Amino acid sequence: MKHTYHIHGMTCNGCRIHVEKTLNAVDGVTSATVDLEKKEAIIEMEHHIEVNSFQQALEKEGGNYTIHLLGEHHHPKKMDKMEPKGKGTGTFYCPMHCEGEKTYDKPGDCPVCGMDLVEEQSLNVGAANGQWTCLMHPEVVKDEPGSCPICGMDLVPMEPDLSAEEKTYRKLLKKFWVAVAFTLPIFLIAMSEMIPNNPLYTVLEQKHWNWMQFALSIPVVFYATWMFFERAYRSIKTWNLNMFTLIGIGAGVAWIFSMVGMFLPDVFPAQFKTEHGTVHVYFEAATVILTLVLLGQVLEARAHSKTNSAVKELLKLAPNTAVKVVDGEEFEVSIDAIEIGDILKVKPGDKIPVDGSITEGYGVLDESMITGEPIPVNKAQGDKVSSGTINGNQSFLMKAEKVGSDTLLSQIITMVNDASRSRAPIQKLADTVSAYFVPIVVLIAVMTFAVWAVWGPEPAYVYALVNAIAVLIIACPCALGLATPMSVMVGVGKGAQNGVLIKNAEALEKMNKVDTLIVDKTGTITEGRPTVEKIGSFNKHFSESDILEMIVALNSNSEHPLAEATVIFGKEKGVKAQKADKFKAVIGKGVEGIVDGKQLALGNPEMMEQVNATISDTMKAEAKIVQQQGKTVSFLAVDEKVAGYVVIGDRIKKTSAEAIKKLQAKGVTVVMLTGDNRDTAKAVADELSLTDFKASMLPEDKLKEVEQLQSEGKVVAVAGDGINDAPALARSDVGIAMGTGTDVAIESAVITLVKGDLHGIVKARNLSDAVMKNIKQNLFFALIYNTLGVPIAAGVLYPVFGILLSPMIAALAMSFSSVSVIANALRLKNVKI
């Protein structure tokens, strides 16, 4: 029998191999092949096997995979997530992204590379589980702030438990000191053999000192570093060979060889024995290797906590409490208790608790932690404010509009967490090398032993064993695996601190290669907050006020920036919006609807043509004069006759000209595509010295332009902020959404600029350049380290220079190779973008 199944949950080649092996191991299966791209498995079986049997096998072997027959409805498996008890989310991932973006619901080590899983940072920025306690009376625990019922002191937020990564670090540190305590005496005993007339032998015979080394090594092997052997065993069992495979084999061979030499010395030839008749033991080599590897793990755990420091800094921005105003009275409430519509008071120096708008008063806000811009911003009534920004020296009232995970700060943290787990295409190089790395190193170790045993100096077998162990220990696939994800994690965090939000690592890599940037005009090059400059009437039956009323009625249903400008203008003039029936937005042309029984249409000449309303030559001439000044004219048709118009101006952002020059200096061709007419577009292009621009572009036209440029071999980025930009954003190599735009545009993009100006694109390009340079440095170092380290450990320098590498030195080099890669990635924190 032969069936095709759909597999859900695979993200990388490691997943494919794991699933394929698991399915082939099911009783009755003769052959199973898995296709990662199609997410399908073709299974041949001797007799029919229920799909539940395959599902159980996948669950037993670990991983969040589900299987079902093609065509059947898929119900994704719901994982029982741990309730986060500390500062994390209870979601863990591999720092090397061995299985792509796969996450785990409990701590442990990666089933592929064996490294400790890292916990995502929590989005819960309030107190631990929203609870407060008294410093004087810790037994008092309340669900909301207030005063202690015993002493009257203000309650303070309960500190959350240690994060998972901090717990891992402390556990490893404790084991490291245990390992040092037992390894140091072993090392001293072994090294004493280099002293002439060893004084230790006057106290005890050598064989007794060997037994002492054996006894001291037991806590090191079976307690402090036993996890390395567990990971090595699991890697061999699943054939996901990794760094711990090499460590387990290398240190394990040294320790087992020594132990057998203690108990059964007569099985070894004379070459392996000392002048005292005892077998050479390598307890010091095994324990020092394991202790140094453990030191590397401790340093990595500490360094890992620094790579996502950007998220931690963002988490500190939101306060634990806020001041809620109800009927004129002020109450201190938990940030988790704030609901949409609540009125909050923000005092001088306070952090804004949630997203909202000012309802009374004004303030000067420091938004540098969100936008990366150091200059404080004036905020008045009606202006939007974001969670985590800091108020100046004025109090104001604000209305909560977005709370919890909907705030800008929480969304930034979510994007940073997601992007940090994503894989950059350049990582495929490291994945390809890693797939063959461990088997090749083991083969080189075997060849090293054979060559030294046959052609090495006496005692040849001793040289052969020591050098083979050195080869196994010095090789470090982890340095290769960490090269890309560490740089991505630090780079994504750096971007978030500067108002550049990266959705995935691929975007970060592609941004480095972009040679053509397409920008929209409204909201991207210009302020995006256009203002109404004139209302005009072509019909004596309608006054300018009548025209404005009809325009406001239609545009009240639209989210386009130009529509918003007319609605704001109408409110300033005291116009009340009437209800518009059968409202319809015609993308790239305008809007239409029925108001007070009249069939209305508002938009460009194409919109007038669509509703059969003729624009006279006089109207065209009047509009052309305005358009040549870079302003937009929208015509209003009433019952298929052009009755009036509105003139809207949109100022060019101060940063646009400078940003375009910087991008052009980097070799990026900037093209402006706008739905506006040619005269308006030309006025803006002339002011910015842009030679490449196209006007009257509908969404499909912008999409075709992107496809045309890509067919010419260009790497195209598109920056936009509206629904009409979404198709081009999605089709481009790199879609950049201006943070001031619509949710649709932001969803279609892979880079979002919080502040929403072109200077952010310069930042994104500089960040991409810096991250890619850092990744290439890491990959170069990791490849060179292994390329040189393995042959030196094998003894290629011995015939000429007489140099051999001790396995202990090899362990030290291996441990610090991974740490050095992380340290290099951390340099990105200081890069100026």
Which residues form the catalytic set?
520
At 477, which amino acid appears?
P
Sign of CA dihedral 546, 547, 548, 554: positive
Long-range contacts of 180-183 (CB under 8 A, 24+ apart): 180/291, 182/216, 182/217, 182/219, 182/220, 182/224, 182/287, 183/216, 183/220, 183/284, 183/287, 183/288, 183/290, 183/291
At 533, which amino acid appears?
E
Beta carbons of 749 and 770 less than 8 angstroms apart: no
Terminal alpha carbon distance of the chain? 59
Provide, for the chain, the percentages of residues in helix, strand and coil under a 3-state DSSP scheme, each rounded to the nearest 5.
50, 20, 30
DSSP H or E segment with residue 751: strand 751-753
**Chain Cα centroid distance, residue 222:** 37
Q: Which residue has the tokens 């090059």?
A: 525
Beta-carbon contacts of 244 under 8 Å, excluding residues fewer than 6 positions away, are 114, 228, 231, 232, 235
Q: Look at residues 213, 220, 219, 189 and name the one whose alpha carbon lies nearest to residue 290.
A: 220
Q: Is 458 exposed, middle or buried (0-12, 13-18, 19+ CB in 10 A)?
A: exposed
DSSP 655-671: HHHHHHHHHHHTTPEEE
Q: Is 155 exposed, middle or buried (0-12, 13-18, 19+ CB in 10 A)?
A: buried
CA distance linking residue 378 with residue 381, whole number of Å:
10
Beta-carbon contacts of 199 under 8 Å, excluding residues fewer than 6 positions away, are 192
734-738 and 716-720 beta bridge pairing? parallel
**Chain Cα centroid distance, residue 620:** 51
CA distance linking residue 249 with residue 642, whole number of Å:
85
Q: What is the CA radius of gyration of the chain?
A: 34
343-346 and 396-402 beta bridge pairing? antiparallel
Beta carbons of 528 and 738 less than 8 angstroms apart: yes
Task: Beginning with the edge strand found earlier in the chain, give each strand of the sheet holding 141-142 in spatial order.
Answer: 141-142, 132-133, 156-157
User: Within 10 A of 454 (CB to CB), how many other CB atoms are there?
Assistant: 9
